Amino acid sequence: DIVNAVTGWGIGTDEITEIGDRSLALARLFNLREGIDADTDRLPGTVHRPHVSGVLSKMRLDEDGVHEQIQDYYRARGWDDAGVPTSETLERLGITEYARN
């Protein structure tokens, strides 16, 4: 409702979600074209080491767990295991012309 109040576009939640999905897929395709791929979808090594002091002392993010979460994110976005939007996703979003051949 807030988008419609501000813009007057008269679009619903589903259409707003699709616009977001399309934007993320296009950004991903751009990044892939520029060489930014699944190999770069990782956190810096420092986050996998325990903190020296404080509330999070002795806590760390498990590398395998983070990798699994990234794979879950890819699936939720409609991307394959390499982080590439699937042909089905591109078709659904109406952006097949931007896919790499």
Phi, psi dihedral angles at 11 (to 5 degrees): -110, 155
Residue 51's identity, in one-letter code, is H
Element (H, E) at 32: helix 13-33
- Tell me the C-alpha to C-alpha distance, in Å, between residue 56 and each of 10, 43, 60, 62, 67: 46, 17, 8, 14, 21
- pLDDT truncated to tens, each residue of the chain (101 aa)? 788 889 898 998 899 999 999 999 999 999 999 999 999 998 888 888 887 888 888 777 888 899 999 999 999 999 999 999 999 999 999 999 998 76
Q: Does the predicted model carry a pTM greater than 0.95?
A: no
| CA separation for the pair 78, 60 (Å, rounded) | 29
Which tokens is 55 given?
Answer: 């509330």
All domains of the chain in start order, with CATH: 2-98 (1.10.599.10)
